[in-house]
Structure 1
Amino acid sequence: MSEVLGIDVSHYQKNIDWAKVAAADKKFAIMKAMYEAQSHRKDETFEANYKGAGDYGIDRGVYIFIASASIADPVADAKALLKHLDGRKLEYGIWLDLESDVLRAKGKEFIRNLCYIYAYHFTMAGYFVGIYCNRDWYLNVIHDDLKNDFDFWIARYPAGDNGSYNPASTLKPNGSYAVAWQYSSKGNVPGIPTKCDLNVDYDGITKLDYKTSYKKNIDKIAHEVLEGKWGTKDSVPTRKERLEAAGYDYAEVQLVVNSLIAKGE
């Protein structure tokens, strides 16, 4: 298969003529579905974009920007997005947008736990989940566990970004750590009245490499608890809240933790 070209859009791109977008050979579109503010209100153009892209055979995905309101209540954030989606098909799944400075300040362990909470709720609803970030985040902020468990969509633009795609560019993420590349933020696409982000999906792998669950076995989780990876009883959110939000039985995990402590492990 050849590389597949696509876009990502929100209300900033205004009213889109999806017939022209399809004629320009854009095969997928990642859409903003919901505001990151505490209101969780739906993006004004989501319904039109979802329908328009689908009408012209363009595969669809959505992204959710994880910022301060998300940190305060990730479960409510995830459930709000699922309510807006209402079970609709997403060929390109849901992408966790992790470029918030507020989130970065929380550190790798916090971000790791947060991603597993979102992944649990989205995968349980039947959606593929990936992570979107820039190369700096991938190298310096993303926990190794996330690199092992998630597919990545990497943003990296050339100096003097003019919207052109160069498949031989040295900026292109290595396929061993990325399934998609956002190569421009200044694209000109027929049918779109503003600049938009441009992307390439390597060999359609993003659609095909669905992961069905991010839950780990209880022994591994118990060891992670002892290593401090799931917070404490006094952290915000608490260890219990983090584990339960990610789909684990807290009491079951704690029994294994107590057993490991008794064994001196």
Structure 2
Amino acid sequence: MAKVSCVDISEFQQGINFNKMKSDGIKAVIIRAGYGRESSQKDSMFESHYKNAKSENMMIGVYWYSYADSVGDAEKEAKACLECINNKSLDMPIYYDLEDNSQTKLGKAKLTEIAERFCETIKKSNY
């Protein structure tokens, strides 16, 4: 398997020169699509980052930042993510970012259930 240099980006990184990034050896980006349970929480730079990465023929994946504390929330987050990415073509997976401090008290078993529900919901949409 070939090694590919990749970075994750979100609305916190603006003014990215994708051409320079690619010429510096970064071949792929994982773009934050959004966070939370609502599609209104779409990352404000998602569309721009996606378009600019595509224009440089970079590999693209996306991630969703989670605040879920239940499997029901995880399913809502997955549906919001799918709505935000709107059937875009991806070269890499949809990643689920479970690292919020509010989730640490939930424990391994509960976080595993949450992650599995998110992933199952995403898989049903052929991603």
TM-score (norm 2): 0.88
Q: 2:69 aligns with which of 63, 68, 71?
A: 71
Gapped regions of structure 1 (runs ≥ 5): 128-265
Structure-to-structure mapping, 1:225-264, within 5 angstroms: none
Q: Is 1:35–1:43's contact at 8 Å kept on the other side of the alignment?
A: yes
Structure-to-structure mapping, 1:45-56, within 5 angstroms: 45-56=45-56
Kindly state the Cα deviation for residue 47 of structure 1 after the two structures are TM-superposed. 0.4
Kindly state the Cα deviation for residue 32 of structure 1 after the two structures are TM-superposed. 0.8
Compare CA radii of gyration and give the structure with the larger one: 1
Kindly state the Cα deviation for residue 36 of structure 1 after the two structures are TM-superposed. 3.0
Aligned residues: 125
Q: Is 1:18–1:53's contact at 8 Å kept on the other side of the alignment?
A: yes
Q: Which has the higher helix share?
A: 2
Matched residue SS, 1:53: helix
Kindly state the Cα deviation for residue 40 of structure 1 after the two structures are TM-superposed. 4.0
**Highest RCO, 1 vs 2 (Cα 8 Å, sep ≥ 6):** 2
Q: Deviations over 1:155-185 (max 9, x none)?
A: xxxxxxxxxxxxxxxxxxxxxxxxxxxxxxx
Q: Deviations over 1:64-108 (max 9, x none)?
A: 1222xx225222111011001111111111111121222121111
Q: In the alignment, what sits opposite 2:87?
A: 87
Q: In the alignment, what sits opposite 1:125?
A: 125
TM-score (norm 1): 0.44
For residues 57 and 39 of structure 1, the distance between their equivalents in structure 2, rounded to whole angstroms, comes to 27
Q: Is 1:22–1:57's contact at 8 Å kept on the other side of the alignment?
A: no
Matched residue SS, 1:125: coil
Q: Is 1:30–1:61's contact at 8 Å kept on the other side of the alignment?
A: yes
Q: In the alignment, what sits opposite 1:29?
A: 29
Kindly state the Cα deviation for residue 38 of structure 1 after the two structures are TM-superposed. 5.3
Q: Is 1:30–1:60's contact at 8 Å kept on the other side of the alignment?
A: yes
For residues 85 and 43 of structure 2, the distance between their equivalents in structure 1, rounded to whole angstroms, comes to 12
Matched residue SS, 2:77: helix
Could you tell me the percent identity over the aligned residues?
Answer: 28
Q: Which amino acid aligns with 1:89?
A: S
Q: In the alignment, what sits opposite 1:215?
A: none
Runs of 4+ in 1 over 6 A off after TM superposition: none
Q: Is 2:28–2:59's contact at 8 Å kept on the other side of the alignment?
A: yes
Q: Which amino acid aligns with 2:122?
A: F
For residues 81 and 93 of structure 1, the distance between their equivalents in structure 2, rounded to whole angstroms, comes to 12
Kindly state the Cα deviation for residue 35 of structure 1 after the two structures are TM-superposed. 3.0
For residues 61 and 16 of structure 1, the distance between their equivalents in structure 2, rounded to whole angstroms, comes to 17
Q: 1:2 to 1:116 in 2, by over 3 A?
A: closer
For residues 94 and 80 of structure 1, the distance between their equivalents in structure 2, rounded to whole angstroms, comes to 13
Q: Which amino acid aligns with 2:83?
A: K
Superposition CA RMSD, Å: 1.7
